[in-house]
Amino acid sequence: MVPPMLRNIALIMVIMALGLILILGLSIVHQSSHEINMAVEFNNHASAVFFESENLNIKTLETFTTGLELSAALDRGDIQVAWACLGPLIMAYSKGVPIKIVAMAHTHGYVLVVKPEIESIYDLEGKTIACPGKGSPNYLLIRLVIEKYNLKNVKIVYMKPPLAMASLISGKIDGAALPEHYASLVISNGFKPLIRSQDVWKKWPGSFLAVREELLRKNPELVKKLIKVTVKATMFINENMEEAAKIVASKLKIPYEIAFNSMKNLEYANTVDPLEVQKYIDLMYKYGCLNRRISVNEILDLTLLNEVLSETTETSGKGW
């Protein structure tokens, strides 16, 4: 039997990794000296998620429709901790937000979905494709496809995932680069997954845990606990995929098959490959999302993650 506490932590990881938005803004008060203002980029109508196993006091939990909105909150200083896709975090850093990426949650989860009559990538010529915004992983997916297949006349428009999904279904656009679970929902309505992130990049970086530098400097133990929570949840998902899919299906009120199929399109892992992150940053600069080059060494701090992963290996099979 999986403890309810770990199930709740896993839920935040599953849904966050699906690229969703939680409609939640609660103050959670527990006995702890660690007060954190957090934000997540995901989508769900769920109850509060507790971090009691690590004695963490989540003072506020903000939620955002897109990672780009979340990065703006980081910029304002509203939040100290964020789970979000890599692109928005890089954009926040490029604008002077003092953050460090300390762990990964997953790779992949981005799909270019099109009308059924579009039979090949070359049929995208002259078509209108939506994505959440410049700098998002979905934007990079479109740009990489355009470059790889030498497409000349593809119009990119910016829409939040729910609007893009509705516009595709209504015929206002020809395709949309969407994060999961939106992609699987549209596919279940008869639309075609033309290309997935796996098709153009074997290790496409997905979502990450980032913290403000001040928090990392002043309270590294708190950050380590957040990383430990993230690693625990990742282990739960990988070891209990079917149960995790049932949780997601119930909370999102979608069929189990859609939740399960959506989750299968992601790879849940916490280890960060700096070379892949640097590749992502370089692509953002190449496609005009950044106004300066950024070294991965500026934004990554994997010291605590390596400690947690080492401790996890040592305690494997013994419990936490």
- Report d(CA 292, CA 38) in Å as an integer: 28
**Bridge partners (DSSP) listed for residue 259:** none
Q: Confirm or reject CATH 3.40.190.10 for domain 4-107+205-315, answering yes or no.
A: yes
Q: Indicate whether 294 pLDDT > 60.
A: yes
pTM of the model: 0.82
Note the helical H segments in the chain: 4-17, 67-76, 86-94, 137-148, 161-170, 182-187, 197-200, 213-218, 220-239, 241-252, 256-264, 274-286, 296-299, 303-315
pLDDT band at 32 (very low <50, low <70, confident <90, very high): very low
Query: Is there a contact between 105 and 16 (Cβ–Cβ < 8 Å)?
Result: yes
Q: What is the pLDDT of residue 284?
A: 98
Buried b / exposed e over 180-199, threshold 16 CB at 10 Å, is bbbbbbbbeeebbbbbbbbb
Angle between helices 241-252 and 220-239 (to 10 degrees): 100
pLDDT digits (tens, 9 = 90+) for 196-210: 999 999 999 999 999
Equal CATH topology for 4-107+205-315 and 110-200: yes
- 23 — pLDDT class (breaks 50, 70, 90): very low
CATH no. for 110-200: 3.40.190.10
Of residues 84 and 49, more confidently modeled: 84
Domain range summary for the chain, segments of one domain joined by +: 4-107+205-315, 110-200
